[in-house]
Structure formats: C-alpha cells, structure tokens
Chains A and B, each alone.
Chain A
C-alpha cells in the first residue's frame, strides 16, 4: 500500500468506527487493517476516543428549559401582534377577577355546606400542601439566573408558563412565603411575583 492509499484509508477510519461506510468501503478498510498493524491500533484509539466522548454526564434540565422556551414564544407572539397586547391588558384584570370570584364562591361553599374534613381527591393522591407562588421573568433573563434564583431557595417550577407568561413555583414545606416573595421581587430579572 503506497502513502496515498494509506492516507485515504486513514481518512476513512473515523467513518469506519462510526459504521458510516458502505460494504465496498468496509472491505477495503478491513483489508488495509489486516496488513497494517498501525492502522489497526489507530482504529482502537479512535474507538476509545468515541466511547469516552459519548459518556458525557453534563445534561441540561429538560423541563425547566422547555418552560423557558415556551415563555419566550408566548412573549414573542404577544409582541408581534398589537391586538394581542391590548387583549392581554384587557384579560389580565378580568382573569384576576374571575379567580377572586371562584375563590369567594369556593370559600362560601366550604364554610356553609361541607362538614366532612376527611375528604380525599378521587385520584387517591394526597393533595400537595406545599406553598406556591406565581412568577414572571423578564424577557432577558438567562437560564443561569433562573436556575440560581430558584435552586438556591429550594424552589421548583411545577407549571407554566401560562398565556400571561406566569410560572407556578412550589416552595419547600414550612417556607416563609412572604420572605421568599420579597427576595424574589428584589431580583432585577423577575418581573412579577404573586400568590396563585
């Protein structure tokens, strides 16, 4: 095998290791490997390199990053449509009023009708008792800021973002909700913090 042929084979070795050659090319490479121990050892090296490179342990957090992407899409869609900005302003107080009405109605029903304190959800699961907040990030907030602000306080995104860009955050049990709320409100990349 002359130097030019050897270079051509050497060039194909990464593709050989990856199984990206056709049958004819594989036959050529394997003939060369049988006659050239240095090339054969190079294949072993490339295989080791590939195996180790593919063992990366650093994985991005899927659901949190996906929630952030959805928030950005909602924002972009809202900004690109002047009508939707008006709609958003119109619906926000309406949505809050509807939530208040629902809360009052629920409170009224519970205090006037229900005397059974041993109710459980039909799903059989125990309803979460952990406190929650709703939060909106500024459009320029980064993944690092979001992760640091939530992770350092033991907070977790459990829902969102909704149409208004709000995430629902679950706090650790027995948290001081007001204190955490005040801390979050002071962060420059957090637009809004409210109770659900």
Chain B
C-alpha cells in the first residue's frame, strides 16, 4: 500500500474529486469491511457501516493532518462508526472482559493447535466464540499486521492494554481450538 498516494487521494477528495474517492474506496474497501465485520460479525450491517465510514472520509478528508498513517486514520473512523451503530441500537453485544478466566492448558498440544488453526472452518467457529474485543484485536494484529502503537490509536486504548489483550486473545483462541477439537471427537 502506498501511503504517499493515499495522502494525495485524500487531498483530491477534500476538493470533492469523486474519481479520487472511487480509487480510495476500491483500495480500502476490503480492509474496512473486514475490520468492521470482525467487530459486528454481521456482513449486512458491516456493509452499512463501511458505507458510513467512506461517507465520513468524503466529509473529513480535508481534516486529515498526516500525523498517523492513512490506514490508521481510516480504521479509527470505522471503529467510531461501529460505536455509533451500537449507540443507535441502544446496545452493545460484548460483555465485560474477564481476562483471568482462562489458563493456558498445560497439556495443550501446540502442534495439534497449529494444525487446528490451519482449518478455516474450525478457526472461524472459534473466532465467533471470542468477545468482540478479542476478535477485533486478533484481526488487527494478524489480518491487518499492525503494530501495537497503531492498534492503540485505532481503538483508543493504551498500548499496554493492547499487549495484554493480544496475550489473552491468544490464550482464548487456543482454548477454543482445543475445546472444539474435543467436542468433535
């Protein structure tokens, strides 16, 4: 991804250039959609929030100051659009995080877990069992390949919290991969 071109596109969008918006949209649509989907777990609502996010890009492109990467800024907008969506719905589907409840199984067979993680359907099933926050953090680390500082800016939490959330999300996904494997046997 070429951030210099992204910056140029945002300048053009700020000047109401619809062609620049189309290019920006085609470039980032998949990224925003999958990020929102990781939080909402509903493809239709994810599409609506994607539309709201890109509409906000059209309105706010002139306010982008280049202090963060364009993708960090964009996913930050998407994050806040999801929060808006939850507020409008009057609910938030996630529960309080209890990050102490799962201990890493001492007897967990890491090679079996690695094999399980390569099974797309099984991993999807386990991801769906995670809380929104844990699913989101795994998405940002392993799908977006972002570092902890960038994630901290996007979802507005301290970098230390990002690190501990990644740690607990890893433990939980291992726990669910083991549990789903045992259920299948």
Quick check: A55 and B51 within 8 Å, CB to CB? no
Pick the interface stretch among B3-11, B70-78, B88-96, B138-146.
B138-146
A50 within 8 A of B: yes
B158 within 8 A of A: no
Per-residue contact bits, chain B 98-137, to A (CB 8 Å; 1 contact, 0 not)? 0000000000001101110111100100010000000000
Quick check: B48 and A142 within 8 Å, CB to CB? yes
> Which residue of A has the minimal Cβ distance to B166?
A14
**Given the known A-B contacts A60-B47, A142-B44, A143-B44, are A48 and B58 also in contact in the complex, defined by CB atoms under 8 Å?**
no
Quick check: B30 and A54 within 8 Å, CB to CB? no
Rounded to whole Å, the gap between the CB of A56 and the closest CB of chain B is 6
Rounded to whole Å, the gap between the CB of B41 and the closest CB of chain A is 11
> Which residue of B has the minimal Cβ distance to A68?
B51
Rounded to whole Å, the gap between the CB of A171 and the closest CB of chain B is 24
A62 within 8 A of B: yes
**Given the known A-B contacts A41-B114, A45-B113, A69-B54, are A59 and B30 also in contact in the complex, defined by CB atoms under 8 Å?**
yes
The interface on chain A, measured as residues whose beta carbon lies within 8 A of the other chain's beta carbons, has a size of 38
Rounded to whole Å, the gap between the CB of B125 and the closest CB of chain A is 12
Quick check: B143 and A76 within 8 Å, CB to CB? no
Rounded to whole Å, the gap between the CB of A146 and the closest CB of chain B is 10
A5 within 8 A of B: no
Residues in A with CB closer than 8 Å to B46 are: 60
Residues in A with CB closer than 8 Å to B138 are: 49, 53
Quick check: B43 and A58 within 8 Å, CB to CB? yes
Which A residues from 35 to 74 make CB contacts under 8 A with B? 38, 41-42, 44-46, 48-56, 58-60, 62, 65-66, 68-70, 72-73
Rounded to whole Å, the gap between the CB of B135 and the closest CB of chain A is 10
Interface size band for B: 35 or more
B64 within 8 A of A: no
Quick check: A11 and B114 within 8 Å, CB to CB? no
Q: Which of A10, A20, A60, A144 contacts B145 (CB 8 A)?
A: A20
Residues in B with CB closer than 8 Å to A87 are: none
Residues in A with CB closer than 8 Å to B69 are: none
Residues in B with CB closer than 8 Å to A45 are: 110, 113-114, 117, 174
Residues in B with CB closer than 8 Å to A17 are: 142
> Which residue of B has the minimal Cβ distance to A57?
B120
Q: Which of B29, B115, B117, B141 contacts A60 (CB 8 A)?
A: B29
Residues in B with CB closer than 8 Å to A20 are: 145, 147
> Which residue of A has the minimal Cβ distance to B150?
A20
Quick check: B51 and A58 within 8 Å, CB to CB? no
Residues in A with CB closer than 8 Å to B18 are: 70, 73
Quick check: B142 and A41 within 8 Å, CB to CB? no
Quick check: B47 and A143 within 8 Å, CB to CB? yes
Quick check: B142 and A53 within 8 Å, CB to CB? yes
**Given the known A-B contacts A41-B110, A52-B117, A58-B37, are A76 and B163 also in contact in the complex, defined by CB atoms under 8 Å?**
no
Q: Which residues does A use to contact B, with CB under 8 Å?
A: 10-11, 14-15, 17-20, 38, 41-42, 44-46, 48-56, 58-60, 62, 65-66, 68-70, 72-73, 76, 142-144
Across the A-B interface, give the 10 residue pairs with the lowest CB-CB distance, nearest first: A143-B47, A144-B44, A48-B117, A18-B145, A50-B142, A41-B110, A45-B114, A49-B117, A48-B114, A60-B33
Q: What are 7 of the A-B contact pairs (CB < 8 Å)?
A: A14-B166, A52-B123, A53-B138, A53-B142, A65-B47, A68-B51, A76-B55
Beyond A14-B170, A143-B51, 6 additional pairs, beta carbon < 8 A: A50-B145, A51-B118, A59-B33, A65-B29, A65-B50, A70-B22
